[in-house]
C-alpha cells in the first residue's frame, strides 16, 4: 500500500527504525532504504529494497532516489530518528478515502507535539503522504536541497498545482531521542537547513508567495504554529 523512502547512514538506528515499522504497520509496506552499507532484515508483511549509496547524496537526495523505485500506491518519507504509533498506516490511508478533487498531500502529524509547519502562510507537511501518481507528476523531495526546505518546496509544488496540503487528523509520529543530535549547526537553533538551502528556496518561490514576509531570516517566513 505505502512505499517509505528511508535514507540512513547509521546501521543501528536503521535496524531500530525497521523494528518499529515492523511492529506498527498493519498493511503491506515497502521500505526503500538508501544507505552506504548492506544489512539483513525481513519484514513480516512487506519488503525492503536496498539502494547502495555509492557517493553521499544527503537526506533529500536519498529520498529523491528512493522515490524513483517506489512501486506502491502511496509514497511517504521516513527517517531513522522518529517512530510510528501502532496502526499509523490504517489511520492515514483512511483519510485518503474521502472524495478527492485534484492533488492531495496529507502530513503525518506528531502524536504529542502540537505544532505544524507553515511557509508563506501555507501549511507544509514535515512527513507528507501522497499518491504515487501525484509524485510522478510533480516530483518528490529534491536533492537540490542538501539538508532543509525540501518539504517546504514539495508543499508549494502541490499548492502551485491547485492541490491541497492538510495535516492528518490523528497524530501518528513520535520523536526518538536521537532527533536531538541534529541540534548542532542549526540556523537560529531551530531550522535544520543550510544557508544555501534557504537561498535556493527563496529564489524559487519568494517572488510568487513572499510578498509581505521578512525574507532576511528563516522565521520571518517559515513559522511553526499550534493546531
189-212 pLDDT, tens digit per residue, is 344 678 999 999 999 999 999 999
Range of the domain at 138: 2-226
What pTM, to 2 d.p., does this model score? 0.92
Per-residue pLDDT reduced to its tens digit, 55-77 = 999 999 999 999 999 999 999 99
Q: What is the pLDDT of residue 175?
A: 92
Q: What's the number of domains the chain is made of?
A: 1
Report the percent of the chain where pLDDT is more than 70: 93
**What was the pLDDT predicted at 98?**
80
CATH of the domain at 209: 3.90.550.10
State the average pLDDT over residues 97-125.
92
Distance, in Å, from the CA atom of 14 to the CA atom of 139, rounded to the nearest integer, reads 25
C-alpha 165/C-alpha 56 separation (Å) is: 30
Cβ contact 6:17 at 8 Å: yes
- Confidence check: pLDDT of 51 > 50: yes
What one-character DSSP code corresponds to residue 177? Answer: G
Q: Is the predicted pLDDT of residue 186 greater than 50, yes or no? A: no
Nearest to 150 by CA among 160, 142, 158: 142
Residue-level pLDDT at 36: 96
Amino acid at each position: 500500500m505505502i512505499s517509505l523512502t528511508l535514507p540512513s547512514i547509521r546501521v543501528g538506528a536503521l535496524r531500530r527504525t525497521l523494528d518499529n515499522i515492523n511492529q506498527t504497520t498493519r498493511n503491506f509496506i515497502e521500505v526503500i532504504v538508501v544507505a552506504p552499507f548492506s544489512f539483513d532484515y525481513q519484514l513480516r508483511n512487506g519488503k525492503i529494497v536496498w539502494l547502495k549509496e555509492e557517493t553521499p547524496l544527503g537526506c533529500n537526495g536519498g529520498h529523491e532516489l528512493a522515490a524513483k523505485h517506489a512501486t506502491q500506491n502511496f509514497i511517504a518519507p521516513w527517517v531513522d530518528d522518529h517512530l510510528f504509533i501502532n496502526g499509523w498506516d490504517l489511520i492515514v490511508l483512511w483519510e485518503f478515502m474521502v472524495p478527492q478533487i485534484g492533488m492531495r498531500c496529507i502530513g503525518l502529524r506528531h502524536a504529542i507535539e502540537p505544532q505544524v509547519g507553515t511557509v508563506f502562510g501555507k501549511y507544509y507537511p514535515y512527513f507528507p503522504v501522497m499518491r504515487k501518481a501525484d509524485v510522478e507528476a510533480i516530483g518528490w523531495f529534491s536533492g537540490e536541497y542538501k539538508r532543509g526546505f525540501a518539504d517546504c518546496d514539495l508543499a508549494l509544488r502541490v499548492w502551485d498545482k491547485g492541490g491541497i496540503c492538510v495535516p492528518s487528523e490523528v497524530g501518528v509520529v513520535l520523536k526518538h531521542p536521537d532527533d536531538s543530535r541534529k541540534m548542532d549547526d542549526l540556523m537560529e537553533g531551530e531550522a535544520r537547513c543550510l544557508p544555501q538551502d534557504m537561498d535556493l528556496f527563496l529564489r524559487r518561490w519568494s517572488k510568487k508567495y513572499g510578498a509581505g514576509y521578512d525574507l532576511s531570516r528563516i522565521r520571518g517566513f517559515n513559522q511553526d504554529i499550534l493546531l
